[in-house]
Structure 1
Amino acid sequence: MKTALITGANKSIGFETARQLLDAGYFVYIGSRDVAKGEEAAAQLGKENVVVVPLDVTDPGSIRAARELVGRTTDKLDVLINNAGVRGDFPQNPSSVSISTIRNVFETNFFGVIDVTQAFMDLLRQAAHPRIVNVTSGLASLTLHSDPSWVYYPIKGAAYGPSKTALNAWTLALAYELRDTTFKVNVVDPGYTATDFNDHRGTGTVENAAAILVRFATLDADGPTGKYFSNDREGEESPW
């Protein structure tokens, strides 16, 4: 049975992604900073093939403990979906936003992804066809941000968007490092989805958002790697 770890999987897009992977026959590790919420999510899923993993991606000790827990139940990890993310306090005007806000956002959205990925790399390498999906945003695209005709052109800030731009750059470098292996490593934007993350102002559904993450988590051998895809572009490649 294939295995998948999803960070921030106790609610919203992460939770729905877990549900869809379970339906596809995966054993799913639900990463959750709040253990009680993780257990509640597992109960709602009602599946046997679920393990809750206490995981705060900003805490190196928590990441080490999560790696040890997962390693006690499997000798490989087929899929890692780095879904956990934060918006940070708003407004995020570049000329006035606090450095602490920027640091806090980067700790989760950028450094946390790196720490988690590196911690689980040994288990990923044991899988025949490992897949890494780093959840990004359309707001990460510098190309789109420089285009006045883009629908989200006015939405600019100094923390959230830049943290995802940095994530895109790191993912591209990781994919290049792993280019001669069976890894597939991509950044995927689930689109403007109605969740707690944006006070349910998004226009997309969690089901559709999760579907694109699952699509890239289950790529076949001919699938792309080192690319940027977006639900807002109907799942097509997005400009960096």
Structure 2
Amino acid sequence: MTTTLITGANKGLGRETARRLVEAGHDVWIGARDAAAGRAAADALGARFVQLDVTDDASVAAAVQAVRAAGGGLDVLVNNAGIAGATKSVPETTVDDLAAVYETNVFGIVRVTQAFLPLLEASQNPVIVNVSSGLGSMTLTNDPERVEGSFTTVAYPSSKAAVTMLTSQYARALPRFRVNAADPGYTATDLNGHSGPQTVTEGTDAIVALAQVGADGPTNTVVDRDGNVPW
């Protein structure tokens, strides 16, 4: 059985990804900073729970020990946890604004990935899925016909551009792994005040597909539910 860990999985895209992967036969760990919410989600979905704050070294280290102690190893890591940050104009955005967003969206991925690498390396088919965004694409954000082109902010889009590049560098450094990024698209979640036109099921199509790629599957790609996303 494939064992999968999803960060930020107590709600939204993370929870729906967990639901769908449990349905697909994965042994899923729901990683969540909020223990009560995480346990409730895991109980409801038939998954396991591990307390995991991607911004905290000790929390991540404890999560690694919990997963290792369970004895099932780890085959798939879905780096889903993310925050939008403060809504400010470009001239108003400060270094502190960026630091808060990067701590979760960028440094959190590095912290969790590095910590879980030994478990993933023991898998016969190690897979990493990073949840990025079309808002991190220069092509899409400069296209006035795309919804991504209607947003002009600094912190969140630049953090997702960094996620895409992290994906590429990990893919190049770990050739036995399948490392890809998923763009959920504009999906109704707490992140955007449920303003997105897509359902969470539609928003997780790419994530779920990438979490199930085989050893001969794609790596170093960015995709949404319709196909490749331009960088």
Task: Tell me if both proteins adopt one fold, taking TM over 0.5 as the criterion.
Answer: yes
- Stretch of structure 1 that moved more, 217-226 or 77-86: 217-226
- The whole-number CA distance in structure 1 between the counterparts of 2:15 and 2:83 is 16
Is 1:150–2:141 an aligned residue pair?
A: no
Superposition CA RMSD, Å: 1.2
Aligned partner of residue 92 in structure 2, secondary structure: coil
Tell me which residue corresponds to 1:66. 63
**Matched residue type, 1:237:** N
- The whole-number CA distance in structure 1 between the counterparts of 2:205 and 2:141 is 26
- The whole-number CA distance in structure 1 between the counterparts of 2:21 and 2:147 is 32
**Matched residue type, 1:90:** T
- The whole-number CA distance in structure 2 between the counterparts of 1:186 and 1:210 is 14
Tell me which residue corresponds to 1:12. 12
- The whole-number CA distance in structure 2 between the counterparts of 1:35 and 1:188 is 26
- The whole-number CA distance in structure 1 between the counterparts of 2:16 and 2:208 is 10
**Matched residue type, 2:230:** P
Distance apart, 1:25 and its partner CA: 1.1
Q: Aligned residues: percent identity?
A: 46
Is 1:102–2:98 an aligned residue pair?
A: yes
Contact 1:20 1:211 in 2 (8 A): no
- The whole-number CA distance in structure 1 between the counterparts of 2:145 and 2:204 is 28
Distance apart, 1:74 and its partner CA: 2.4
- The whole-number CA distance in structure 2 between the counterparts of 1:191 and 1:84 is 16
Tell me which residue corresponds to 2:167. 171
Determine which of 162, 181, 191 is the counterpart of 1:197: 191
Q: Residues 86 and 42 of structure 1: is their aligned pair in 2 closer, same or farther, counting only changes over 3 Å?
A: same
Aligned partner of residue 61 in structure 2, secondary structure: helix
- The whole-number CA distance in structure 2 between the counterparts of 1:145 and 1:211 is 22
- Stretch of structure 1 that moved more, 14-23 or 146-155: 146-155
Is 1:79–2:73 an aligned residue pair?
A: no
- After superposition, what is the alpha-carbon deviation per residue over 1:122-146, rounded to whole angstroms, capped at 9, x for unaligned? 1001111111000011100012223
Is 1:25–2:25 an aligned residue pair?
A: yes
Contact 1:75 1:123 in 2 (8 A): no
- Stretch of structure 1 that moved more, 210-219 or 158-167: 210-219
Aligned partner of residue 106 in structure 1, secondary structure: helix
**Matched residue type, 1:24:** A
Distance apart, 1:195 and its partner CA: 1.1
Distance apart, 1:75 and its partner CA: 5.0
Tell me which residue corresponds to 1:41. 41
Contact 2:86 2:97 in 1 (8 A): yes
**Matched residue type, 2:39:** E
Distance apart, 1:43 and its partner CA: 2.2
**Matched residue type, 1:37:** A
Distance apart, 1:94 and its partner CA: 2.5
Q: Which structure 2 residue ranges, 5 or more long, are not aligned?
A: none
- The whole-number CA distance in structure 1 between the counterparts of 2:52 and 2:12 is 17
Aligned partner of residue 119 in structure 1, secondary structure: helix
- The whole-number CA distance in structure 2 between the counterparts of 1:156 and 1:53 is 36
- The whole-number CA distance in structure 1 between the counterparts of 2:122 and 2:146 is 42
- After superposition, what is the alpha-carbon deviation per residue over 1:8-36, rounded to whole angstroms, capped at 9, x for unaligned? 00011111111111111111110000000
- The whole-number CA distance in structure 2 between the counterparts of 1:36 and 1:111 is 25
**Matched residue type, 1:108:** T
- The whole-number CA distance in structure 2 between the counterparts of 1:161 and 1:74 is 38
**Matched residue type, 1:76:** G
Tell me which residue corresponds to 1:88. 85
- TM-score, normalised to structure 1's length? 0.93
- TM-score, normalised to structure 2's length? 0.96
